[in-house]
Structure 1
Amino acid sequence: MLNWFVTGVSSGLGRAIAKAALAGGDQVIGTVRCQADAEAFTALAPGRAHAMKLDVTDEAAVGVVWRTAEQLFGPMDYLVNNAGRGFTGAIEETSLEDARALFEVNLFGPMALIKSALPSFRARRSGHIVNVTSVSGLAAWHGTALYGATKFALECLGRTLAQEVAPLGIKVTNVAPGGLRTAFSAERLAGAEPTIADYAETAHLARATLQGHLGAEPGDPDRAAAAIVSALAAPEPPLLLLLGDDALKYATAEFAMLEGEIVRWQDLTLAIAAEPAAVAAE
């Protein structure tokens, strides 16, 4: 029986991941924000589903909860950084206060958990860190700059971490879903205020699109969770796992655009080469 620590299991993908792990006979320590959610989660599999209250932006609490989980339930095999919030709005409309708050949840919270997990993972020379990012962390989309920026940052954090911990037997996987049929857009999506009319045809379309597709998103969260569990069990798990045909489409288009820009401007890129250094005469 493996031990999973999954943040944000009250609903959505986090709950689906927890249910998939429980269905496989594993034990899940899931974080929630209120008592009602804690009771609902533990009822999924009494004795193997354990809820712990946690606000991931409380750095001190993160360390305490992680240590308590390992003391009560044994060493963790997986850390799944799933908890997060969405945000739409033009960059000009977004306050720095809102931007900082979003980074606290979507980047610094996961980082605090990673830092809490690494000492025990290093000691055992094992463990797997899973970061739920987003296709918006790979492909820019007007109206989602700040949300995308947090996910771009988490993508970089995960990829760099993978390089640092690979020699220690620790694995890292970034999971980048597209749209999933959850309540995320209804319950976890904030917006910039006040709005500016000039962005009606660009940045404001993001929120309208997300809410217009509510309940009709292309991805099934339970199938996404099954895909994640399957990928993590592979002998060589992926560093990046895209989920959904929309994620594949947007990421592929973004990478093709970037490759095109690199090729188109490569002459200027190479034009800055310095002259060879003079060799001092003996």
Structure 2
Amino acid sequence: MPSGGAPSPVLSFTPALEDQLRRWLDEDLGRGDLTAPALVGRTGRAHWVTRADGVFSGGVLVAPLLALLDPRASVRLLVGDGEPVVAGQRLLELEGPAAALVAVERTALNLAMRLSGIASATAALVEALAGTGVRLADTRKTTPGLRVLEKYAVRCGGGTNHRLGLDDAAMLKENHLAWSGGVGPAIAAVRASAPWPAQVIVEAETAAEAEAAVRAGADAVLLDDFSPAALAALVPQLRALAPTVLLEASGVRPEQLAAYAATGIDLISTSAPVTRSPWLDLSMRFDPLLA
């Protein structure tokens, strides 16, 4: 289970993701592993261990990566994605043609270390919000080509995904409001053309913008760079206008999470787990050859 107590996350292996896995392997293999001839006909075993405490993510990628190299290779997961791990813990075991195990090592570890770092950083922030009822969400500040996996890692850490892309919801920011004539006209234009289930979110930098967004029928208001004191005063006013509007805070430093959670907001969004987290140190160790 993820550290936040949510159901274990599920990663959808779409054709686009499978194509990315193939390209990432090709990036490392190039014209072919020059060490492979030394391993022809050899069958090996290996396992992963973690050298640091954290939350594991990326184990589900190992079997698909191996299948692209050699379908005879197999993986046994000892730890599920989203589960906490401690230094020295064995995470998974691999068996199959030795050349395939060697070839998959770097790509699989790089992805898992990156994703586990994000999951671990997310879990720490989710833990700081435990008991408050406030959810932690990610942003669109992700590595090009890795968005699906990085957002998956956030879920592994117990976080919530914000928009995956511009087509998930309409978020009207400062430039939209300036170029469309204000909050009301911008919301009206989006409502007139977007599919009916699409939500409209307005990013507000002042109390007046936030109130205008609520009055204009925004489904959610992102309150950007407000202090906890300012939000504590503003949130009740917005709730009085629209009790069901979702209120989100951004621009929050980790040490301020408790103060922001006490203001009555529903969601805190942050890019920190993706943009600032170190990789979790994982290692692949090879056991004696089977044949």
Give the TM-score of the pair, scaled to structure 1: 0.28
Does 1 or 2 have the higher relative contact order (CA < 8 Å, sep 6+)? 2
Give the TM-score of the pair, scaled to structure 2: 0.27
Query: Which protein has the bigger helix share?
Result: 1
Larger Rg: 1 or 2?
Answer: 2
